[in-house]
Amino acid sequence: MNEQNAGGVRQRSVEIVVPVYNEAHVLADSIGRLHAYLETSFPFPFTITVADNASTDATWQAALDLAHRLPHVHAVHLDAKGRGRALKHVWSRSGADVVAYMDVDLSTGLEGFLPLVAPLLSGHSDLAIGSRLHRQSAVQRGAKREFISRSYNLLLRAGLAARFSDAQCGFKAVRTDVFLALAPHIEDTAWFFDTELLVLAQRNRLRIHEVPVDWTDDADSRVDIVRTALDDLKGMRRMFRKSVTGRARIAAVPRRTRTTTPVLPVGAPASSAEHLEYAS
């Protein structure tokens, strides 16, 4: 995956995972759009990995077809469901410098991807998240989902002293070496995986970078909101116990100093991204 430029210098690379479950009807269009955008607008070597979470429709065959047809596209099949399970499986085996993921519906505008990963590639940050609650974000979603999202993040602030603004946005990236250090301590295999990753990062004083996003809610979303909310509350309770007992501290978390100026799209305002270094 790692490539060299004309001067023989190895370029840092990114692997983007798209977890899917029964998405045969949208997969080809979404991956095609993502691939076209990255090929024409992204200045770093990349790989797209479609992670099939035990789909029961034609998703796996569609993923294989895409991997055969498009360069830089791979497909991985898992025998059990769970977004966290898929991300942990692929990210733990990645040869890229930075690993990322986005939802298959591409709810987040792709123009936000370079600002998301650039500070990780340059060594300025350790993790990066898209935030729908950022003051510069443009979000289109219903009042119910808006209320649930804001309420969840308020609970995280109150219960776990979270300082990141949006734990659930399906648009995140992390340095691979950092993830490998955190991965053995992440227990959740479903939707709370993201929150657990971020809480562990904050407890270990890692640098979390937030970017605004253009977000359009997916009307076809099949997430069970009630069940997910209950699972999240259980996860929060578990993380609170970890935090108060000191088990959220990890001894061997890699640190990196800045290496280069972060790459941002031409014309992007300096205030469009926030660098947050958290203390426990």
Known catalytic residue at 194: yes
User: Rounded to the nearest 10 degrees, how much is the dihedral formed by the CA atoms of 198, 202, 204, 207?
Assistant: 90
Mean pLDDT in the chain? 86
What domains are defined for the chain?
10-106 (3.90.550.10), 122-258+272-276 (no CATH)
Tokens 């959740």 belong to 188
In angstroms, how far is the first alpha carbon of the chain from the final one? 35
Q: Are 200 and 185 in contact (CB under 8 A)?
A: yes
Q: By percentage, how much of the chain surpasses pLDDT 90?
A: 59
Q: Are 98 and 13 in contact (CB under 8 A)?
A: yes
Give the pLDDT confidence of 97-135 residue by residue, as tens digits: 999 999 999 999 999 999 999 999 999 999 999 998 788
Bridge partners (DSSP) of residue 138 are 214
Q: Which residue has the higher pLDDT, 162 or 179?
A: 179
Classified as helix, coil or strand, 251 is: coil
Backbone angles phi, psi at 279, to 5 degrees: -110, 155
Q: By percentage, how much of the chain surpasses pLDDT 70?
A: 84
Closest-CA residue to 70 (of 100, 41, 32, 102): 32
Residue 219 has pLDDT above 70, yes or no: no
Classified as helix, coil or strand, 184 is: helix
- With b for 16 or more beta-carbon neighbours within 10 A and e for fewer, the 171-207 pattern comes to bbbbbbebbbbbeebbebbbbbbbbbbbbbbbbbebb
**What pTM, to 2 d.p., does this model score?**
0.85
Residues 73, 75, 77, CA angle at the centre, nearest 5°? 170
Kind of pairing, strands 10-11 and 171-175? unpaired
H helix or E strand, kind and range, residue 259: none
Catalytic: which of 194, 214, 218, 231? 194
Give the pLDDT confidence of 164-213 residue by residue, as tens digits: 988 889 999 999 999 999 999 999 999 999 999 999 999 999 999 999 99
H helix or E strand, kind and range, residue 255: none
pLDDT (average), residues 239-260: 73
